[in-house]
Structures are given as structure tokens and as C-alpha cells.
Amino acid sequence: MPDDIFSLMRDSIIAGAPDTATYLARKAIAAGTAPLDAINNGYVPGMHDVGEQFARGQMFLPDMMASAEAMRAAMAVLDPELKKLGADRPTSGVVVLGTTKGDIHEIGKILVGTLLTAHGFQVHDLGADISGEKFAAKAQELSADIVGVSALLTTTMRNQKTVIEALERSGIRAQVKVMVGGAPVTRRWAEEIGADGYAKDAMSAVALARELMNQKTGPRTPEPIGSGKVV
């Protein structure tokens, strides 16, 4: 049964069918499926197929947009369920999150923010297409512990560096940890630009954020919650 529903979820993304994606997400929650399992085993594999088809020229931009819409519809159901898991927990740290300037991809970044929230972090999501100055200003305003910068394009990942430069210019680089991620980003790139850490997916981002907080303040992060597969 779960495998069937996961493959239907995947198909709903490939077909760009938001109503079906919503229906399946609600059905899965009602049946007791962990929201993160639905995301990781159903919807995300669908997005990956879409990306591969687009790269091969078998899918075009409007189709990809419809798929993104279906993913958003599923997340609108699953997001609150994930966040409920983190309600009333002590704050693990303050995170300012966003996608770099020139880049409007934000599904993965939203997922990272949701999982961080579910694990007790206080997340301020600036959205997509965010300049280094905006990241720095928000981090300063909130005395953020971590700045998280996502980039999905090879042309915009260099703007992760401009965020670090903006933090340096505003004099707060030493007080905040910077984590980077996104499909084209690598550990090596993170090191090259002077970020404090790289995470390949949303679950690793939670582990990394905890590690960065430990480096800042010593261990104080609550135990993992949610699906058994979270960490």
C-alpha cells in the first residue's frame, strides 16, 4: 500500500497535477504515513524525474512549472504536519534562510526550513532571489546564529559567496555560521567560498545546523523527532 501511494505521488508531480498531489498527501496523513516519508519517497523522486526529463529535452518549462505547482500543493498539506512535530520545543537556534540573488528555485529551501523548524530551530525564510545585503541585514536584525543560503543554478551559486562578503562588510561574519546547499553545490565549493558547512539534502541540513550550533555554544539541541528516518 505505501509503495503504491508513493508511486502515485511521484506520478502526480510528473503529471503536474496539484489536485491529485493534494488528495494523496491528505490520504497519506489520514492513513498515518509520516509526512517526511511522503516527501522523500513520493514527491521528491517525482521532482528529480522532472529535472532529468527537462535536461533531456523531453519536458519543457511550462511542464516543469506545473510540476513545481503540484509539489507546492503537496507541501501545503505536509508542511503544517511537519511543523506540528516541532511545536512547543525550546529554540535550537535562529536561522536566516533564503535562495541567492537571481535564483527563483525555492522548493528545496522551503523543505530545509520546514525540517529545521520541525527540529526546534527558529527559521526566518527570506524567500528567493535575495541579495547578500538583505541576508546580512536580517541576520544582524535578528542576531542570527546561522545564515543558510540555497542555490540551484550553476550561475547563481557564486552569489553564495557574495552573501558571505556582505556578512563580512556588515561586521557580523564572526558571529554567524554560514551553511550552503542546493543541487549544484558541493562540499568543495563550500570550502572554497569560506562557508562553515555544506548539506546535500534537508535532513543533512538539520544535522549540520546542530553541529554548527554545537561549535557556537556547546551541545544544547533537543533530540531528533518525527519520522524515524529524520536523522
Instruction: Report CA dihedral (177, 181, 185, 190) to the nearest 10 degrees.
Output: 10
- Candidate ranges 18-26, 29-37, 152-160, 223-231; the one touching ligand B1M (CB under 6 A): 152-160
Residue at 175: amino acid letter: Q
With binding defined as CB under 6 A, does residue 193 bind ligand B1M? Answer: no
Distance CA 175, CA 22 (A): 41
Q: Which of residues 3-42 bind ligand B1M (CB under 6 A)?
A: none
DSSP-based three-state secondary structure for 100: strand
Taking residues 55 to 94 in sequence order and writing x for each that binds ligand B1M by CB under 6 A, - otherwise, the string is: x-----x--xx--x--------------------------
Task: For residue 119, report the phi and psi dihedrals to the nearest 5 degrees.
Answer: -105, 20
DSSP-based three-state secondary structure for 122: strand
DSSP-based three-state secondary structure for 130: strand
8 A C-beta contact, residue 132 and residue 162 = yes
The residue (of 30 and 146) whose beta carbon lies closer to ligand B1M is 146
Binds ligand B1M by CB under 6 A, chosen from 205, 206, 212, 230: 205
The residue (of 30 and 207) whose beta carbon lies closer to ligand B1M is 207
- Number of H helices and number of E strands within the chain? 10, 5
Taking residues 94 to 113 in sequence order and writing x for each that binds ligand B1M by CB under 6 A, - otherwise, the string is: --------xxxxxxxx-xx-
Q: Shortest Cβ distance from residue 49 to ligand B1M (Å)?
A: 8
Residues of this chain that bind ligand B1M (CB under 6 A): 44, 47-48, 50-51, 54-55, 61, 64-65, 68, 102-109, 111-112, 148-150, 152-154, 179-184, 199, 201-202, 205
